Amino acid sequence: MSCSQTTTPRRPRRLLLAALLAAGGAASCGDGRSAVERARAGEAEVTGQGVLVIAVDGLRWDHTSLAGYDRETTPSLEKFARESVVFENAWGVTPSMVGAHVAILAGDDPGVAIPPPPQGAGDFPARDIGAEGEDRWFVPPELHLLGRHFLGLGWSTAAFVDHEDIKELRGFDRGFREFVEHRGEPGDEVREEGAFGVGKRFIQWVNGRALDENWFAYLQMNDLERRWRVNRFNERVEIRGVEDAVENWRVRPELSFVPPLGLVESAFHTLPPSRANRARSVTMAEYELRYDLGIRAVDASLARILASVEDFGRKDNLTVVILGSFGTSLGEHGLFLRAGLAEDGDLHVPLLIRPSRAFREALGWGAEGRPPVKRVKSLVGSIDLAPTLVDLIGAQVERPMLGASLRPLLQGELGPVRDRLPVRPSVIPGFALIEPESRAVVYRPDLAVPPARRSWSSWSASADRAEEVSEFWTRWEELIELERRWLHFGLGADEGARVQALRGMQGLAESRAEARPSFR
């Protein structure tokens, strides 16, 4: 006897979620069991493809045990990595909340989210990203987010977000049939925030998908950023199920100093008032331990979410991407408990991709389904995720994205997909260029004078690339300014020539000549 599951017609999200809860999350068969329960028992087959992207705010690469950190912060990620491709040189393109998620979902420069001034008004270059804050940022109408490409192929799409700035009013709902904002809506059964609440709402939604339904879901988790809120600092870091594993973690004696409390949020060498514990003096060692405990808690939540999905027979047909949207600075370059610069702690993030069985076959992974290269050292950026997924599902795009498809790296090719990655700080104006073995950062180019304004990494002491970097960014910002005017106001469409120029400036690898198989 076979059993099928019908897709719930689209209704207002609150009514849809209530209907799923009342019906047990799926249509039932003649014996009273739902289709997903039959799939769990091996009596029904899941044929629909699922693509799940999980973006964790504040997660820096070097504090994961996956990267060799001395505390076992991410054992679940390490287990997940055995079946995945791990990108060891992955970078976010900005530490700003709105900009980071625009880059991930659109494969575009985060500066396009800044509305340009009216025609003829004074210049407001996108490099001033750190001067304005994000109050007026939004997704421009002509910018296509990742969900739209899945919708175009008939996939169901949903987003479950965890921060009040990632919301429908800013345009983040475009391309998602279901868009569940921070903490859901009044009246929802699940109102928890963080990985627990986001994960629970997602599981309810995915269990309502038909077994032959293709779906795409985007999950944002803000737990690590939320840990610094003053009214939460004395709360116990949620580490359910892993208490024994962390009971021997101790503070580091070398971090026993107490950082001074600042008067404003963006001051250097002081703690932001909104993130510091004012009830008592807290050492940097305690703050760091709290951060690492938070990572371990998020890691455990990720394991529970994936286990819940896979427990219902969806693993073989599920593609999972886990990445940090940006990192967290712990005082290394003057910022405490927040991201805001273009340094390793702010932007060097984890990125892991585990394709479904169909995608693994298309990528040529072989009979055992193992990646040809498990750890990739090539330079990649968060801006490259959207082009990668669009490439894998075979969607057609109206205009090329600014990012590069990582498909060649997933196939085991050793050549780079890009020569350089432009990135932006958020707390002060500036710009940076990241290359495979080096990084150049310029802060406050309007005020600082050499050599104080420059920060070079991995170049010889005699190397001075200030002029080269400045020329690159001058041209980049000219093109991004034109893109902003077109995306926000519809002015100056150029049939993609600007995007091709911006792609060329990054040294993106050309598309391969041979046709690439894709799953539809």
Q: What is the 3-state secondary structure (H, E, C) of 188-230?
A: CCCCCCHHHHHHHHHHHHHCCCCCCCCEEEEEEECHHHHCCCH
Which ranges of the chain have pLDDT less than 70? 1-36, 38-42, 118-133, 186-187, 189-190, 230-241, 279, 447-466, 510-520
Residue whose pair of structure tokens reads 């090539």 in the numeric block = 378
CB 149 within 8 A of CB 393: yes
Name the nearest CA neighbour of 111 among 371, 402, 517, 372.
Answer: 402
Domain membership flag for residue 142: yes
Q: Which CATH number covers residue 76?
A: 3.40.720.10
Q: Residue 147: what residue type?
A: G
Residues pairing with 208 in the sheet = none
How many structural domains compose the chain? Answer: 1
Domain membership flag for residue 460: no
Question: Phi, psi (5° rounding) for residue 24?
Answer: 80, 15
CB proximity list for 25: less than 8 A, separation 6 or greater: 34, 36, 204, 207, 208
Calpha distance 258→287 (Å, rounded): 10
Domain membership flag for residue 427: no
DSSP string, 123-169: P--GGGHHHH-STT----TTPPPHHHHHHTTT-EEEEE--STTSSGG
Helix (H, G, I), strand (E, B) or coil at 244: helix
- Computed over its alpha carbons, how large is the radius of gyration of the chain? 23
Calpha distance 362→374 (Å, rounded): 17
DSSP string, 25-83: TS-B-TTS-BHHHHHHTTSS---S-EEEEEEETT--GGGSGGGT-SS---HHHHHHHTT
Calpha distance 139→161 (Å, rounded): 15
Q: Write down the pLDDT at residue 496.
A: 80
Domain membership flag for residue 505: no
Domain membership flag for residue 230: yes
Domain membership flag for residue 336: yes
Domain that residue 307 falls in: 13-111+136-418
Question: Phi, psi (5° rounding) for residue 49?
Answer: -85, 140
Distances (CA, A) of 36 to 52, 69, 204, 316: 18, 39, 12, 15
CB 470 within 8 A of CB 441: no
Q: Write down the pLDDT at residue 147.
A: 95
- Give the CB-side neighbour count of residue 465, counting CA atoms within 13 A: 20
Residue whose pair of structure tokens reads 């019906």 in the numeric block = 23
Domain membership flag for residue 472: no
Domain membership flag for residue 171: yes
